[in-house]
Amino acid sequence: MYELIRREFNLKRDVVEIGSGIFPLLGHSLREYQLKIGGGTVTVYDSKVWKGYPTKAKLINGYFNDKVKLEKNSLLVGLFPCESTEMIVERALKENLDFCIALCGCNHSNNPSLTTREYHEMLIEQLKEQISLEKFLKIRYFPKACFGNRHNGFPILLVKNKSKVKKFALPFKMR
Ligand SMILES: C[S@@+](CC[C@H](N)C(=O)[O-])C[C@H]1O[C@@H](n2cnc3c(N)ncnc32)[C@H](O)[C@@H]1O
Domains delineated in the chain: 2-161 (3.40.50.150)
Task: Tell me which of 21 and 150 has the higher pLDDT.
Answer: 21
How many CA atoms within 13 Å lie on the side-chain side of 145? 1
Could you write out the DSSP letters of every residue in 47-99?
TT--TTS--SSEEE-S---TTS---TT-EEEEES-GGGHHHHHHHHHHHT-EE
User: What separation in Å is there between the alpha carbon of 19 and the centre of ligand 1?
Assistant: 3
Per-residue model confidence (pLDDT) at position 143: 77
Confidence of residue 12 (pLDDT cuts 50, 70, 90): very high
How many CA atoms within 13 Å lie on the side-chain side of 39? 6
Distance in angstroms (rounded) separating the CA atoms of residues 57 and 101:
19
Distance in angstroms (rounded) separating the CA atoms of residues 153 and 108:
18
Is the shortest distance between the CB of 79 and ligand 1 below 6 Å? yes
- pTM of the prediction? 0.91
Is the shortest distance between the CB of 84 and ligand 1 below 6 Å? yes
Least confident residue range of 70-79, 88-97, 147-156: 147-156
Which residue CA neighbors atom 24 of ligand 1 most closely?
19
The rounded percent of the chain whose pLDDT value lies above 90 is: 79
Which residue CA neighbors atom 9 of ligand 1 most closely?
21
Tens-digit pLDDT profile for residues 118-131: 999 999 999 999 99
pLDDT at 140 > cutoff 70: yes
Is the shortest distance between the CB of 49 and ligand 1 below 6 Å? no
Per-residue model confidence (pLDDT) at position 53: 97
User: What separation in Å is there between the alpha carbon of 170 and the centre of ligand 1?
Assistant: 53
| C-beta of residue 89 within 8 angstroms of C-beta of residue 135 | no
Is the shortest distance between the CB of 17 and ligand 1 below 6 Å? no
